[in-house]
Structure 1
Amino acid sequence: MNTSGHAADDVRDDATGLRLAPFRGLRYVPERVGSLAAVTSPPYDVVVRPDGLLHLESADPHNIVRLILPQAITAGTRHRKAAVTLDRWLADGVLAPDPEPALYVYEQNGDGILQRGIIGALELSTPAEGIVLPHEDVMPHVVEDRAALMRTTAANLEPLLLTYVGADEGGADAVIERTVQREPLLSTTTEDGFQHRLWSVTDPAELATIAGELASHQALIADGHHRWATYLRLREEHAAPGPWNYGLVLLIDTARYPLRVRAIHRLLNRLPVADALTALGDSFRVRRVDGPLPVALEALEAAAAEGNAFLLAGDGTFHLLDHPDPALLDRTIRTDRPQAWRTLDATVLHSTLLENVWHIPDAPEDIAYIHDTEAAVDQAERRGGTAVLMHPVREEVVRDLARQGVTMPRKSTSFGPKPATGLVLRSLALD
């Protein structure tokens, strides 16, 4: 089955596509932790700080957030703390490497979604090679932080989420379907209700089948642009071929397992809602929407179907922004990009509202990027700031822009479900 309609665009005629290598996964030893669910975490940028971080740290003394989001006063101290913690957990037998290199079949099941994919060490490639397609810009300070953490720990602590459009039948999918009939290496249910299962694939014939299919495909980065940029930076620092030429990824065939695309919201820490509304003038139509939140989001969805729309929150109610002034858009949005890029909500938000109407710099102290809608609203109300709630963009728009080599504004999309962090890690010292 092929639900995407893009299989032909995904195949590379010269068979210089994805190269996924087995690796000796580092995994928690179940007997040494309270439960596997208690030591996992969402990806580092999904953890809502500080609430979510403290919750995860208290769930188990060995929760993976102590590696992906170590806490200390300075950045250098944080990264060294993570490395020391990782070494200690290995020495104490909390984490242990699997006996032989493997690819890993990973399954998530919950909220009406069944998703299966393959975790492995992907050979890195540059954007010019067109094998791995980014679709979002990155923030340099985040790449620097992730690079320092990865450099200090010499480990890939969580996989990127990549998507490709697989063959109609056979190939990697057939290996996955056979593998999930076996007893898994691990099975756990996290507090969000998702069940996670993991299997290893070590049979040479099955590894060759997977490699044969992937070699003719390209992939879209669904989640993990900053970690991908980190992989590329660290590869430049290690010129000789070796483990730094690879990075940990989860590959999902979206022809069989389509992902959900959600929006990532903005929290403007220093801009009260009243000031935001005043600055708008008559550049947008503004309507008050009485809650609760689901009702306001329905209003946003309806407005977004007709054009650019945003929902402001933070003062106890909701304000729907739509029908932007066309002259303002023409004046503030660059014209050397495709029309699909120029009309993105994220483009209008950053180019028109943030830069030209509200004059908000894209700096961590001014803008926080929050995946959870309720958390964005709650934090805006607590801080006296403004939450800008977004409507998600369609996956086909993302993929088409990526194929044109056009990146979207940073944090434009949130594909999911995302892999749980902590189920399998990659130590570069073992490769």
Structure 2
Amino acid sequence: MNSEGPATNDGLRLLPFRGLRYAAERVGSLAAVTSPPYDVVVRPDGLHHLESADPYNIVRLILPQATTPAARHRQAADTLARWEAEGVLAQDPEPALYVYEQRRGDVLQRGVIGALALSEPSEGTVLPHEDVMPDIVADRAALMRATGANLEPLLLTYRGTGAATGATAIIEQTVQRPPLLATTTEDGFSHRLWSVTDPADLAAVHADLTERQALIADGHHRWATYLKLRAEHPDPGPWGYGLVLLIDMARYPLQVRAIHRLLHRFPVARALAALDGAFRVQRLSVPLPEALETLAMAAADGNAFLLAGDGAFHLVDRPEPELLARTVPHDRPTAWRELDATVVHSTLLDHLWSIPDTPEHISYIHETATAVEQAERTLSTAVVMHPVAEEVVRELAREGVMMPRKSTSFGPKPATGLVLRRLTEN
């Protein structure tokens, strides 16, 4: 049974739960059944790759394939029920918090996975920083209703002391024990998971987090989905909580990367023609790493982007001040008005290019090389962005100002499929 009681708003309240996990002996390998988060999977190439990796890959739950949305959600629910009946997925015997570690080279990230009491943005406990699209929230909510499960954690960060006290002390003690599972995914990251069930350890984590405020690093649509479903289930219970991974940024700083825009069936020549006189444009006949270095130098002085898709890179910077004054909304703080994503959406997409922000016209790609390759293959345009500083993200979030959606990509992101959370009993 779920162990959650009434949700309260006294800081971050992270509760243990009975994790639903793959039985290692029933699958080819744990690495083969995992996936990146649903919105990072590049479709259709990445989707097909994951589906072929193992018949039980988690992508069959988070991105089911069928002819209609209702059929997709029903298929995911049926698949989940079948896997549980076959013993491929099984719930742990007692509620636990889960310490999770990711490591690759010099990158080390550790945090705690649990069921977080949900709070509204106005309460200031969990701070979103990006807008969401209602149709995506509606789709994820329908999937969650159908499956009765949180299929993947969203990523939250908080600012602790950085010292080995409180929740961090429990994490550091826990990783000295043998893990529940350990695997290495094809991206080179090793993943380890431990359960924390000792009442004293759980109490120490609880006491530490009640004074914390969290920033949504990744998973704004999932957070909005949690809130939507809680409103549908107002009585105390499991729908008042959502599956999250909490990371102390002071101890384990995340990397902040950009998310790039792929403009379907919009060739680079057409994009450049519309910029004539509005921005400075320079053609760069250099490899991608050098083009990104040039972008970083230009971005230090103002708005700058790369356009790609015709075999070269085009640095776009130094927008006309009058154009920005005319196209960027004036009802937000200066930091928001100066964001690259703001200028891309308000000035380029809305004004100069007249491209609607819909999936038919724009895809959001996390990997730079993938965005460029897809643009060249489909005669489209990739808008390569420069990352936003984490301090800017956090300050805007504290002010309650939403950045344009897909403005940031915090990472490394948790692998999907290591632990799920049941909302209903079978």
The TM-score, its normalising length taken from structure 1, stands at: 0.96
1:115 aligned onto 2:109: yes
Inter-partner Cα distance in structure 2 for 1:385 and 1:341: 28
1:146-161 to 2 correspondence within 5 Å?
146-161=140-155
Show CA shifts across 1:89-136 (max 9, x none). Answer: 000000000000000000000042110000000000000100000000
Letter of the 2:92 partner, please give it: D
CA contact (8 A) 1:266 1:387 kept: yes
Aligned to 2:52: 58
Shift of 1:430: 5.0
| Partner of residue 395 from structure 1, selected from 379, 382, 390 | 390
Flag as ranges the 4+ runs of structure 1 deviating above 4 A: none
Contact 1:24 1:430 in 2 (8 A): no
**Structure 1 SS opposite 2:28:** coil
Which residue of structure 2 lines up, in the alignment, with residue 381 of structure 1?
376
| Structure 1 counterpart of 2:23 | 29
Provide Cα deviations, 1:356-403, integer angstroms capped at 9, x if missing partner.
010111111011001011111111112111000000000010000000
Choose which of 394, 407, 412 in structure 2 pairs with 1:412.
407
- Deviation of the 1:15 alpha carbon: 8.5
- Residue 426 in 1 paired to residue 421 in 2? yes
Q: 1:251 is paired with a residue of what secondary structure?
A: strand
Residues 233-285 of structure 1, C-alpha deviation per residue, up to 9 Å, x if partnerless? 00011121110000000000000000000000000003111000001111000
Pairing partner for 2:97 from 84, 103, 124: 103
Aligned to 1:214: 209
Match of 1:4 in 2: none
After superposition, the C-alpha distances for 1:120-155 in whole angstroms (9 at most, x for unaligned) are 000000001000000000011111111110110010
> Where does residue 279 of structure 1 map in the other structure?
274
For 2:378 and 2:138, the matched residues in 1 are separated by: 28
Q: Could you tell me how far 1:335 is from its partner in structure 2?
A: 1.3
Which amino acid in structure 1 is aligned with residue 376 of structure 2?
E
User: Could you say which residue in structure 2 is the equivalent of 1:228?
Assistant: 223
Q: Give the distance between the partners of 1:61 and 1:37, measured in 2 at CA.
A: 13
Out of 85, 88, 92, the residue aligned to residue 94 of structure 1 is 88
Are 1:19 and 2:35 matched, yes or no? no
Q: Which residue of 2 aligns with 1:297?
A: 292
In the alignment, structure 2 segments of 5+ residues that lack a partner are 1-7
**Alignment partners' CA distance in 1, 2:165 and 2:381:** 50
- Paired letter, 1:47: V
| C-alpha RMSD of the superposition | 1.2
1:128 aligns with 2:122: yes
Deviations 1:404-427 (A, max 9, x none): 000100000000000000000001
| Equivalent in 341, 356, 364 of residue 361 of structure 1 | 356
Q: SS of 1:280's equivalent?
A: coil
Report the counterpart of residue 3 of structure 1 in structure 2. none
Number of residue pairs the alignment of both structures matches: 418
1:75 to 65, 69, 73: 69
Question: Which residue is equivalent to 1:9?
Answer: none
Q: Could you report, residue by residue, the CA deviation over 1:149-185 in whole angstroms, capped at 9, with x for unpaired residues?
A: 0110010000000000113441001100110000100
Q: C-alpha separation between the residues in 2 aligned to 1:128 and 1:302?
A: 37
Q: Aligned letter for 1:86?
A: L
Contact 1:15 1:217 in 2 (8 A): no
1:11 counterpart residue number: none
Aligned mates of 1:119, 1:235 — CA distance in 2: 20
Distance in 1 of aligned mates of 2:64 and 2:407:
26
**Amino acid aligned to 2:124:** G
SS at match of 1:109: strand
Q: In structure 1, how many angstroms separate the alpha carbons of the residues matched to 2:36 and 2:187?
A: 10
Where 1:200 maps in the other structure, the secondary structure is strand
Q: Is the partner of 2:373 in helix, strand or coil?
A: helix
Give a deviation string over 1:21-52, Cα, whole Å, max 9, x none: 10000000000000000000000011111111
Question: Residue 356 of structure 2 aligns to a residue in which SS?
Answer: coil
Partner SS, residue 115 of structure 1: strand
Taking the aligned partners of 1:49 and 1:169, their CA distance within structure 2 comes to 41
Unmatched segments (≥5 aa) in structure 1: 1-13
Measure the CA separation in 2 of the matches of 1:175 and 1:297: 40
Counterpart of 1:414, as a letter, is: S
Structure 1 equivalent of residue 193 of structure 2: 198
Measure the CA separation in 2 of the matches of 1:375 and 1:257.
27
Q: Aligned letter for 1:78?
A: R
Matched with 2:257 is 262
Kept after mapping to 2: 8 A contact 1:259/1:417: yes
Question: Is the Cα contact below 8 Å between 1:15 and 1:215 reproduced in 2?
Answer: no
**Preserved CA contact (<8 Å) 1:156 1:425:** yes
The equivalences for 1:246-257 within 5 A come to 246-257=241-252
1:146·1:227 contact (CA, 8 Å) conserved in 2?
Answer: yes
Percent identical among aligned pairs is: 73
